[in-house]
Amino acid sequence: MDYVVKRLSGNDTGLTGGHQAGIYLPRQFFEKVLPEINTTKSYNPRVSIECLLPVNGADVTTLSAIFYNSKFFPERKLKKKYNEFRLTGWGGRKSPVQNDENTGCVFVFAVGRDGGNYSSIALVAESEGDEKLVEEWLGECVEPGRIILSGDGSAGADVPFDFPNGWVTTFPNG
């Protein structure tokens, strides 16, 4: 499994009022984890990912990982040209990931592949205790504007979170 950790921006949660959809994640994460959507051969390629979002129990949602690549399709004559990767389908404001009150909270997203299927787990550290647990696991603070990827040298020892049986119960080492 690979993971990414960042603080949710106002653009991620919808606080800024922008109409971008979903959580922005860097190209390097998608190149490593979902290389099939890192292409300009098709318009806005996407893949579905089952995601466990442990909040008030355990909600499972189907996310879309999308490469918004309109920059490479001038024939569409679009006003805005995009070249960015996002995770959408969080469920709007009812999801802690897109609750604007969680702007600035630490967000952890881990994804793995079993054959042709993806599964993932997402955590929003909504309390100081959750945030401290994540930062202790990483061995460093998650500074605003910084994105931490698995394999980038972070400590990332396994940390058990309270997930239901049958789902990942620890995050992998970095």
Stretch 106-135: mean pLDDT: 89
Give the pLDDT score at 138. 87
Residue 11 has pLDDT above 90, yes or no: no
Residue 94 has pLDDT above 90, yes or no: no
Give the pLDDT score at 137. 86
Give the pLDDT score at 47. 93
Give the pLDDT score at 164. 40
Q: Are strands 117-125 and 46-53 parallel, antiparallel or unpaired?
A: parallel
Q: 10 Å Cβ neighbour count for 162?
A: 7
Give the pLDDT score at 70. 94
Residue 58 has pLDDT above 70, yes or no: no
Could you read off the pLDDT of 27-51 as tens digits, one per residue? 999 989 999 999 999 999 999 999 9
What span, in angstroms and rounded, lies between the C-alpha atoms of 112 and 122?
12
Residue 130 has pLDDT above 80, yes or no: yes
Give the pLDDT score at 22. 82
Q: What is the DSSP string of 89-150?
A: -S-GGGSGGG-GGGTT-EEEEEEEEETTEEEEEEEEE-SHHHHHHHHHHHTS---TT--EET
pTM of the predicted model, to two decimals? Answer: 0.82
> Residue 117 — pLDDT band, cuts 50, 70, 90?
confident
Stretch 139-157: mean pLDDT: 75
Residues 28, 7, 88, 66: what is their CA dihedral angle, to the nearest 10 degrees? -10
| H helix or E strand, kind and range, residue 33 | helix 27-33
